Amino acid sequence: MKIIDLRSDTVTLPSPAMRKALSTAELGDDVFGEDPTTNLLERMAADFVGMEDALLVPSGTMGNLTCLLTHCGRGEEVILGNLSHTFIYEAGGMAALGGIHPHTLPNLPDGTIPLDDIAGAIRDDNVHFPRTRLITLENTHNLCNGSPLSPAYIDDVAAIARAHDIPIHMDGARLFNAAVAMDVNVKSMTRNVDSLTFCLSKGLAAPVGSLVCGSRDFIVKARRTRKILGGGMRQCGIISVAGIVALEEMIERLAEDHAHARRLAEGISHIAGLTVQPDMVKTNIVYFSLDTTDISPEKLVTALERQGVKFLHTGRSRFRMVTHYGISTDDIERTLSALSRAMA
């Protein structure tokens, strides 16, 4: 029986084209700047998002931390959402390793932070306060239903940041999902940010890796930060070559994942005892809730796993399913059938 793994889009396996490319990648020592495949990927990534340069890192968490440590010094402050991945799911790295103070503001259900809240959170130059050095946005926003941030909203935040001479970092782990969902060029979402990360190993289905993007000067500094964090790799063209295929072949197909997620949400909405908001599903992430005591959250997860479907219990009676490369229309229908049987 095929296992339908909806826990995350990080469980994707490389495409046949990626597997073929892995065996033919031209390699060199990237710490010396001599891996031609990695150099090509970094140029491609920078061009895709409209920035001057890029840097390969092993993970999105390292990418975000690299950017925060490059922007901020010890005792300085970053403004970010209280539901952001960087704040909740990255092991407190900004504080533990960088001495950076997180100033969290409430995220709205669509992943945005109210503009007035951002403006009001920027510190005056006062000896009692940490200096506000960075504003961080997440696009798409994982915990807020995988919501994409619009170019207009990003530009509005940038206007506030520019008025105070503060840079913006974007955690764009699923940035291309956002662009596809909103049917815009990804550069319209990055034109006013100073640094960003995006993952190769989520919706783009590469086996490992993320990119840090920014100005040439920023990437020079970020490369040193990456070295401090232990992220300097050697013949990493075997990673980069899959990333090249991902950028060339896997972006447009993200629309399939979004369609599968909408169908999943629609189907769940008709299952008694489960609650979902189909209109909130904009990309490939579906959150839903259990609103009955007839079955416990733990038993629901176990019941589906016995039927070959994996998904996440994310707290109390809330669950997450994520569609991705390798999940078919039949898999979605089989998942809905499994849910119906479990709830019955």
Q: Which residue has the tokens 């908001």?
A: 277
Return the CATH fold of 253-343. Answer: Aspartate Aminotransferase, domain 1 (3.90.1150)
Q: Are 139 and 175 in contact (CB under 8 A)?
A: yes
Domain residue spans of the chain: 13-249, 253-343
Q: How far is CA 63 from the centre of its chain?
A: 11
Confidence at residue 326, expressed as pLDDT on a 0 to 100 scale = 95
Return phi, psi of residue 247, to 5°.
Answer: -70, -35
Return the CATH fold of 13-249. Answer: Aspartate Aminotransferase; domain 2 (3.40.640)
Confidence at residue 315, expressed as pLDDT on a 0 to 100 scale = 87
Confidence at residue 293, expressed as pLDDT on a 0 to 100 scale = 87
The dihedral sign for the CA sequence 200, 10, 30, 34: negative
- Provide the whole-model pTM: 0.95
Confidence at residue 1, expressed as pLDDT on a 0 to 100 scale = 81
Q: What is the DSSP string of 49-65?
A: HT-SEEEEES-HHHHHH
Return phi, psi of residue 159, to 5°.
Answer: -60, -40
Q: Which residue has the tokens 């990456």?
A: 226
CA distance linking residue 49 with residue 68, whole number of Å: 19
The CA-CA-CA angle for residues 87, 93, 95, to 5°, reads 85
Residues near 334 by beta carbon (within 8 Å), at least 6 away in sequence:
4, 308, 309
Percent composition of the chain: helix, strand, coil (DSSP 3-state, to 5)? 45, 15, 40
Q: 13-249 and 253-343: same fold?
A: no
137 strand-pairing partners: 170
Confidence at residue 166, expressed as pLDDT on a 0 to 100 scale = 98
Question: Do the strands 4-5 and 53-57 form a parallel or antiparallel pair, or are they unpaired?
Answer: unpaired
CA distance linking residue 192 with residue 190, whole number of Å: 6
Closest CA to 184 of 212, 143, 219, 155: 155
H or E segment and range at residue 104: strand 101-105
* Amino acid letter, residue 18: M
Q: How far is CA 21 from the centre of its chain?
A: 25
Residues near 225 by beta carbon (within 8 Å), at least 6 away in sequence:
66, 69, 70
| Burial of 283: CB neighbours in 10 Å, binned 0-12, 13-18, 19+ | buried
Q: Which residue has the tokens 């219990």?
A: 313
Confidence at residue 316, expressed as pLDDT on a 0 to 100 scale = 87
Question: Do the strands 101-105 and 312-315 form a parallel or antiparallel pair, or are they unpaired?
Answer: unpaired
pLDDT tens across the length of the chain (344 residues):
899 999 999 999 999 999 999 999 999 999 999 999 999 999 999 999 999 999 999 999 999 999 999 999 999 999 999 999 999 999 999 999 999 999 999 999 999 999 999 999 999 999 999 999 999 999 999 999 999 999 999 999 999 999 999 999 999 999 999 999 999 999 999 999 999 999 999 999 999 999 999 999 999 999 999 999 999 999 999 999 999 999 999 999 999 999 999 999 999 999 999 999 999 999 999 999 999 988 999 999 999 999 999 999 998 899 999 999 999 999 999 999 999 999 99
